[in-house]
Amino acid sequence: MLKIITKQMNLEEAKKLGIDSWDKWECEPSEFEWEYPETETAYVFEGNIIVTTEYETVTIKGNMLVTFPAGLKCSWKVIETIRKVYTFENKNVNK
């Protein structure tokens, strides 16, 4: 079972992970399907998102570190504009 891993994290802690060099992404309220070909780790600065998979529904908000495992298929419902950075290089930051 592929699970989304979330962790509350303040900006200072996140900067220690090197988020300043991660790619940026923003999305206004919308709904869409997504599949992760690689494990993605993201730090969410702001937003309110509900991500639904076959096994779970996860609410993601600002100041969260989130890991989406490779192969995960999900539906995104962006309730409030999301502003995040992400990387495919830090697969073990939640451990």
For the domain spanning 22-87, the CATH number is 2.60.120.10
Q: What is the pLDDT of residue 79?
A: 98
So what's the pLDDT on residue 95?
Answer: 47
pLDDT given at position 70: 95
Domain borders along the chain are 22-87
Residue with tokens 């709904």: 31
pLDDT band at 1 (very low <50, low <70, confident <90, very high): confident
Question: Residue 4 carries which DSSP code?
Answer: -
Task: Give the mean model confidence (pLDDT) for residues 62-84.
Answer: 97
Alpha carbon distance 87, 20 (integer Å): 11
In tens, the pLDDT along 10-68 reads 999 999 999 999 999 999 999 999 999 999 999 999 999 999 999 999 999 999 999 99
Check whether 94 has a pLDDT greater than 90: no
What pTM did the predictor assign? 0.91
> For residue 91, with 0-12 CB atoms within 10 Å meaning exposed, 13-18 middle and 19 or more buried, which class applies?
middle
